[in-house]
Structure 1
C-alpha cells in the first residue's frame, strides 16, 4: 500500500500547457490531505500477491494485511 499524490494536471491549461494557480489542489487538500506527501491525496496504490483469476467492475476487494511503504 502506498499513498498516491494528486498530480499537477488539474492545474495545467490543457490547450496551452501553462500552469495556472494551485487553487484546485489547495481545495482538494482541505478535504483529502496526505501529510506524508505534503499535499492532496488522490488515492492509494495496492500490490496483489498470488495473482489468479480476474477482477471486474463492482467486485469487492478485501485487504487482509498491508505495509506502509511511505515510512
Structure 2
C-alpha cells in the first residue's frame, strides 16, 4: 500500500470515528436510565476503535512517505 492509499484510508476511518461519536452524543448523550445506570451503546467503542486505526494508518503513511 502506498502513502496515498494509507492516507485516504486514515481519513475515511477518521470520518467514521467522528460519525459514530456524533451518533453516540445524539442518541445516548450521557442519559441515565430508569435504574440509575448511564446508558451505553456500541457507538462509543467504535469511535475509539476507528480513531485508533486512523492514527495508525496516518503514522504508517508518514513512515512510508519518508522511507522512499
TM-score with structure 1 setting the length: 0.25
Higher strand share: 1
Higher helix share: 2
TM-score with structure 2 setting the length: 0.25
